[in-house]
Structure 1
């Protein structure tokens, strides 16, 4: 199935595996890439040295194109951009809109730039700055999210920009791919669906919690880091929502110290990152610290399997998923379903 996305990136299927912190490592990314999707490494939870090692590991496992997801507001963003360029990575994606300068530097080196956005105006801005494509996530998506549904946001963006648009938020099967194409998208991006594959390193006990979740079990809360964050509701989430500011601040400081040690960042770098997160947002310093240490809450679940101590970012679509296939099996299934759906559509517009 050829689309503007497959032509742009050189992948076989119009499917993107998103960059999820502590989840989208070399094993998952290389498996997705080998299966014909665009696998994207999550670099925000890696040091710069770990990122270079991870890129080389993926490259050693597959010749297929893949990408790296960056935080545009990170203090060492330019160092990470240089790693991407030096290592010959095909795609750079961004969780936040990158600057015009970062886009220009990557494009000058032949790297495709595909930011993720949650609003039409952000898509218009990065398109004007030279982005090659854009991932548009509706409110159904996991992690930080907006409140506009994909079915409303997607056509807005498709009509507003002249670059390929990749739909994210609520996708897990071939029906969703066909629906996204009908809206004018060039493909779909999936996070939770790839988290729940056998190639994902997330502990089995955590995957079981996702599989057991219903749509009603997945909520949006500001208690974790002050920003709307979609995740599975757990006792920890309930406790964070009930706890007072002083208690949240104490927890934030402890976890921020742990993340600083793990990431190798200095306190000055953490503060700079916190200021970048705070810019343009009405966040308290307690919320900023929570935002800085959110990676530690995710790590507790996604790496250590401690769902009692960590959070589980999740799209609403987890409530529809009931199996853990390999990436190869998943992508083969999605494409087969899509072809069957397309074949079943009335050719002359009549039911």
Structure 2
């Protein structure tokens, strides 16, 4: 089944549920532009999430979803909220959604866990989810170990439910590539950061627009919590502390509130400037509708050219 038909959207593109970025207003703008907007529960209290949902409902009549962090301290209330508001699409991360599957299914909610391995994908299918988002380590933020090409191929070959690719996708050619691996669409994030409608600080947008892919690094590998982001003074100090055997508590203090500082305050020195490896291809401020339409138009053109070469 095509993702557009499954979710009733124009383009097979899902917006990542980026903490502090994926607000109700932003999700509505993505949905109004033809993709699936997603409100990220990370960074919001349960009460604040209610407000974001209310905002989204006022701004769009198109489908939108919620990204649920299963380690959220108010997860039980958040689970109730999505049912109360009749949310029909959930993406999940940071935990196992098994405890909530039956409840969400009883409310006709489609569930798409973000996974980073074939084994986890198989477990999710057995739980009865509607599809999985296979996120490769090229992605921004918290990452796994496998690259997108390897992961998507393994997962698509192992499941009978739809697979959505994520990590390193910002163009139509990349969308076509993951389709060839068996994906029905893509979750995107980094390429949306410079969007006019994106609520991040202008200094964050400028960093993204001017960044090269070689300026992206990963912190947290040593403690098993890898995060991909742009290099700055904070990442330099963090990596130095990691090499010197710093305690986990000390490292956590260095990143506490760092994403919010980057997103809201424009702290490009000690903030966490999360983005994926594809950042080097993201160099224009555009409206969301132009970004999404551009990706899909390039995808169609690339597919046509590729098919023509085979004839």
TM-score of the aligned structures, taking structure 2 as reference length: 0.94
Residue 325 (structure 1) aligned with residue 286 (structure 2)? yes
Return the alpha-carbon distance in structure 1 between the equivalents of residues 133 and 8 of structure 2: 17
Return the alpha-carbon distance in structure 1 between the equivalents of residues 72 and 166 of structure 2: 23
Return the alpha-carbon distance in structure 2 between the equivalents of residues 239 and 217 of structure 1: 16
Checking the alignment, whether the CA contact within 8 Å between 1:15 and 1:37 is kept in structure 2 is yes
Return the alpha-carbon distance in structure 2 between the equivalents of residues 182 and 223 of structure 1: 31
Unaligned runs of 5+ in 1: 250-283
Return the alpha-carbon distance in structure 2 between the equivalents of residues 244 and 225 of structure 1: 8
* Root mean square deviation, CA, Å: 2.2
In structure 2, the partner of 1:19 is 17
1:295-346: CA deviations, max 9, x gaps?
A: 6110000111111221111100001111021111111111111111122123
Residue 149 (structure 1) aligned with residue 147 (structure 2)? yes
In structure 1, the partner of 2:214 is 216
What's the offset of the Cα at 1:71? 1.1
In structure 2, the partner of 1:91 is 89
What's the offset of the Cα at 1:224? 10
* SS of alignment partner, residue 51 of structure 2: helix
- Which stretch of the first structure deviates more once superposed, 20-29 or 237-246? 237-246
* SS of alignment partner, residue 257 of structure 2: helix
Checking the alignment, whether the CA contact within 8 Å between 1:72 and 1:96 is kept in structure 2 is yes
Checking the alignment, whether the CA contact within 8 Å between 1:9 and 1:90 is kept in structure 2 is no
Aligned counterparts, 1:305-320, within 5 A:
305-320=266-281
In structure 2, the partner of 1:336 is 297
Residue 159 (structure 1) aligned with residue 120 (structure 2)? no
In structure 1, the partner of 2:78 is 80
What's the offset of the Cα at 1:241? 2.2
Return the alpha-carbon distance in structure 2 between the equivalents of residues 20 and 247 of structure 1: 30
Return the alpha-carbon distance in structure 1 between the equivalents of residues 6 and 95 of structure 2: 20
In structure 2, the partner of 1:120 is 118
Return the alpha-carbon distance in structure 1 between the equivalents of residues 43 and 152 of structure 2: 29
What's the offset of the Cα at 1:238? 0.4
Unaligned runs of 5+ in 2: none
In structure 2, the partner of 1:101 is 99
In structure 1, the partner of 2:261 is 300
TM-score of the aligned structures, taking structure 1 as reference length: 0.83
In structure 1, the partner of 2:58 is 60
Runs of 4+ aligned residues of structure 1 deviating over 3 Å after TM superposition are 223-226, 243-249, 284-287
Return the alpha-carbon distance in structure 1 between the equivalents of residues 276 and 300 of structure 2: 25
Aligned counterparts, 1:190-205, within 5 A:
190-205=188-203
User: How has the CA–CA distance of structure 1 residues 286 and 307 changed in structure 2, closer, same or farther, with 3 Å as cutoff?
Assistant: same
Return the alpha-carbon distance in structure 1 between the equivalents of residues 224 and 158 of structure 2: 30
Residue 182 (structure 1) aligned with residue 180 (structure 2)? yes
Checking the alignment, whether the CA contact within 8 Å between 2:232 and 2:270 is kept in structure 1 is no
In structure 1, the partner of 2:35 is 37
1:53-80: CA deviations, max 9, x gaps?
A: 1001001100111111111122321210
* SS of alignment partner, residue 303 of structure 1: helix
Checking the alignment, whether the CA contact within 8 Å between 1:138 and 1:145 is kept in structure 2 is yes
Pairs aligned (count):
311
